[in-house]
Amino acid sequence: MEVKMDPLFLALSYFRRRRLQQCSDICTKILQDNPYDQAAWSLKTRALTEMVYIDEIEVDQEGIAEMMLDESSIAQVARPGTSLRLPGTSQGGGPTPAVRPLTQSGRPITGFVRPSTQSGRPGTMEQAIKTPRTASTARPVTSASGRFIRLGTTLFEYIFHHENDVKNALDLAAQATEHAQFKDWWWKVQLGKCYYRLGLYREAEKQFRSALNHKEVVDTYLYLAKVYQRLDQPITALNLFKQGLDHFPGEVTLLTGIARIHEEMNNISSATEYYKDVLKQDNTHVEAIACIGSNHFYTDQPEIALRFYRRLLQMGVYNCQLYNNLGLCCFYAQQYDMTLSSFERAQALVANDEEQADVWYNIGHVAVGIGDLTLGYQCFKLALANNNDHAEAYNNLAVLELRKGRIEQIGDLQGSYTAAQKSEDSFPEHVDTQQLLKQLRQHFAAL
Q: pLDDT per residue over 293-316, tens digit each? A: 999 999 999 999 999 999 999 999
Alpha-carbon distance of 276 to 288, in angstroms, equals 7
DSSP letter at 102 equals B
Query: What is the reported pLDDT for 66?
Result: 56
Of 115-119, 120-124, 174-178, minimum mean pLDDT range? 120-124
**pLDDT bucket at 128, cuts 50 / 70 / 90:** very low
Query: Which of 266, 261, 230 minimizes the C-alpha distance to 106?
Result: 266
Query: What is the reported pLDDT for 144?
Result: 38
Residue 128 near residue 307 (C-beta atoms within 8 A): no
Residue 154 near residue 42 (C-beta atoms within 8 A): yes
71-84: pLDDT as tens digits: 555 555 666 677 77
Over 50: is that where the pLDDT of 42 sits?
yes
Share of the chain above pLDDT 70, in %: 70
Query: What is the reported pLDDT for 410?
Result: 37
Sign of CA dihedral 279, 247, 226, 85: negative
Query: What is the reported pLDDT for 83?
Result: 73
Over 60: is that where the pLDDT of 127 sits?
no
Query: What is the reported pLDDT for 212?
Result: 96
Alpha-carbon distance of 194 to 169, in angstroms, equals 7
User: Phi and psi (nearest 5°) for 65?
Assistant: -60, -45
Over 70: is that where the pLDDT of 180 sits?
yes
Domains of the chain from N-terminus onward: 7-52 (no CATH), 151-291 (1.25.40.10), 295-349 (1.25.40), 359-447 (1.25.40.10)
3-state secondary structure of 37: coil
Alpha-carbon distance of 247 to 306, in angstroms, equals 36
Compute the residue count for the chain: 447
Alpha-carbon distance of 312 to 372, in angstroms, equals 31
238-263: pLDDT as tens digits: 999 999 999 999 999 999 999 999 99
Alpha-carbon distance of 59 to 253, in angstroms, equals 13
Supply angle C-alpha 234, 235, 238, rounded to 5: 85
Mean pLDDT for 19-41 is 92
Query: What is the reported pLDDT for 386?
Result: 92
Query: What is the reported pLDDT for 171?
Result: 95
